[in-house]
Structure 1
């Protein structure tokens, strides 16, 4: 099982401070799925008008965008996925006590093996 020190020890992991923390928060507020309100995570899909959705909401709902009614596509928001990978996220299980904060590119790895995972599901 991966420990918190594994995530802290990776080159992509550093703690956010100062103006970077404020900028990270502002961007995180923008990249939430409009359907489920969780943070968007790759793969991120688009409707023909450019609205983004998490994979689960994209696959689960109708063929139309719930925001504007446009047709959903299999096109991905590559730039937004790259931004996600550079941002810092708290572990999904932070509400159960996990204190890990990792870059988006490795947060799923941590969450898949988080010691607090037994208390909730993604």
Structure 2
């Protein structure tokens, strides 16, 4: 990864620190070969530091995204399971009411008594008439 790309992706506070450091450095054209070598080493160290920092940032971002996806999936699955269970229970209760109404009807109970006992409407009882 190029240094300018790393620099652009750093937080502003880190960019400022880096620029402040560079501003304190002397004009490299006037350095001796020994000073130039030390200068190049320090630039490499800074480059390595910020490359590592950016790598950590990217890795942290990936972990955060993965954690967010996993959390969202778990929450969605839990919500889906709860919704499915509620729907299944409601269906089971409705079926039990119909079964009860059918048994009461076969025992000769009146429609009004069956509606009162089961909470079903006349429209819900009509299919049982056949």
TM-score of the pair, normalised by structure 2: 0.24
TM-score of the pair, normalised by structure 1: 0.25
Which structure shows the higher helix fraction?
A: 2
Which structure shows the higher strand fraction?
A: 1
Q: Which has the higher contact order (CA 8 A, sep 6+)?
A: 1
